[in-house]
Structure 1
Amino acid sequence: MRIVSGIYKSRKIVAPKHLPVRPTTDMAKESLFNIINNHFYFDELIVLDLFAGTGNISYEFASRGTEHITCVDQDFGCIKFINQTAETFKMPIQTIKSDVFKYLEKATLQANIIFADPPYNFTDDDFAKIPELVFQNNLLLEEGLLIVEHSKHTNLSNLKNYSYSKSYGGNMFSFFEHTLP
C-alpha cells in the first residue's frame, strides 16, 4: 500500500503478510479523500478509524495534516503495526486494542469523521450495529460523517442516518450524517 497524498505522498508501507486485513485500494482511497477534502479541512479534524487493520486510512489523514486520530482494532498484530508505523513517520495516531462494538458501547470520543472498514462478510445486523451505536452514543460531531466501507453486494441504504453511497470497483463507501429534525 502507498500513501496517496500529503507530506508522506508516495511512501510505501508494507504490512506483515500474516495480518487479518484487506486494505482499501489506492484508487478507492484517493476517491474517498477527494470527497472528504470537499467538506473538511484536514488539520481541523478529529478522526476515529474503526476496524483499522493496517492503519491505511489513518496514515492518509495524518499525511494530510490531521492531528487527532484514534485507531481501534481487536487484533494485537494490527495495533502493533500501526504503532510502529506511526512512530516511524512521527504520526499523531493513538491506538486502542478492543472489539469495535464493545468500544462503541462505552466510547466518549466525539469525532468529525468516523471511518469503519469491517470485514466484508459481516451480517446485515453487524453492519447495522455500526451506525446504530455511533448515533445512539452521540459519537459523531454535528457536521460529521460516518463512512462505512463494504462490498458492492451489501446495501446499507435502509439504515437510519444513511445519506448516500459511492462505488469504486468492488468497494463501496456508505455515508451517514445527522438527520435534520
Structure 2
Amino acid sequence: MRVIGGEFRSRRLKSPAGDSVRPTPDRLREALFNILAPHIAGCVFLDAYAGCGSVGIEALSRGAGRVIFLEKSRPALRALQDNISTLEISKRCEVHAGNAAPVITKFAADIVFLDPPYPREQEYGLCLDALGEEPSSMVIVQHTSKFTHHLKETYGTLNRVRILSQGDNSLSFFEPR
C-alpha cells in the first residue's frame, strides 16, 4: 500500500499481517480525495477505525492541517505508529486507542471518515447517530456496496448527499442540513 498523492506521494505504508485490517483500495482513495480536494487544505480530519492510517495519512499528504486517528486493534496501532514515525508526522496527528463509537463526538473535526470493520455493522449507526446530534462535519462512510440500503438517508441533522461505488466498496457522504 502506498500514498497516492501530495507531499508523501508514492511512499509505502506498513499494514499489519493478516486480514484484521481492510485498507481502502488505492483507486477508491484517489476518487475520495478528488472529491474532497476543495475541502482538505488546512482542515482537521478524523480517521475513525483508522487501521494502518492510509486514509488519514493521505489527508495529511494532500494538505490537511491535522489528523486524529481512532483505532482499537493493537496490530493496526503498531502499523499506524510505524507509519507516523517513518513519515515524521507525529506533530501533525494524534492517535487514540480504543473503540471509536463512544468517543467520536469528543473531537472537533471538519471531515470525519468512518470505516468500521464490516462485520461490526452496528458501529455505523452508533457513530452516525452520535455525529448527527451535533453535526459540524462532513462525514464519509466506507461500506460494502450491498450495505448501502442499510444506511439511513438521515441521521439527526446529517443528510446523505452522495454515494460513490466502486466494485464491492462504496462511500456515502453525509453533510449537515
TM-score, normalised to structure 2, is 0.88
Runs of 4+ residues deviating >4 angstroms: none
1:121-177 Cα distance to aligned partner (Å, 9 max, x none): 233x432222111122x3x43xx3100000001122433322221111211000111
Equivalent positions of 1:30-179 (< 5 A) are 30-37=30-37, 39-40=38-39, 42-91=40-89, 92-104=92-104, 107-123=105-121, 125-136=122-133, 138=134, 140-141=135-136, 144-155=137-148, 156-160=151-155, 161-179=159-177
User: Residues 19 and 77 of structure 1: is their aligned pair in 2 closer, same or farther, counting only changes over 3 Å?
Assistant: farther
Measured in 1, the distance between the counterparts of 2:19 and 2:87 equals 20
- Show the counterpart of 1:4: 4
Report the count of equivalent residues.
170
| Percent pairwise identity | 26
Give the deviation of 1:93 after TM superposition.
Answer: 2.0
**Which SS does the other structure have where 1:149 is aligned?**
strand
| Alignment root-mean-square deviation, CA | 1.6
Measured in 1, the distance between the counterparts of 2:13 and 2:49 equals 18
5+ residue gaps in structure 1?
A: none
Measured in 1, the distance between the counterparts of 2:78 and 2:34 equals 29
Q: Which AA in structure 2 matches 1:32?
A: L
User: Residues 4 and 159 of structure 1: is their aligned pair in 2 closer, same or farther, counting only changes over 3 Å?
Assistant: same
Q: Which AA in structure 1 matches 2:7?
A: I
